[in-house]
Amino acid sequence: MPKLTSKIALPIILTGLFAITVFIAINYDKLQNSFYIVLFFLAIYIFSFGFAIGQSFTSPIKKLLEKATELSKGNLSSRAYIESKDELAELAAVFNKIADELQESQVQGENAEKSVDIKVRA
């Protein structure tokens, strides 16, 4: 499990397991085998839920990080598009704006260099 996913999923899983432990401790003497079967499936559900929530939170961050790495390596056409209406989408929009400005700055620099070359040749 990646670092960020585990940071999100682990508290959810631990809380669920704590709740299960509390239910067991409440009436331990009167529990039947069917309760343990339900408890087993509940534990599997809690683990799956925690892992799924962790993945859904971290996938946009991973995508943005990959695009930022591409941009840092010189790929100025790298853009991040995140389909949500939260802070991550705003961050992606700011990232795209920075990438646009960097690309425009590079084009202006190349045009200025060409202009100087033309003047020097003249």
Residues 75, 69 contacting (CB under 8 angstroms): no
pTM for the model: 0.61
pLDDT tens figures, 15-57: 877 877 777 777 666 777 777 787 788 888 888 888 888 888 8
Q: How far apart are CA 92 and CA 98, in angstroms?
A: 10
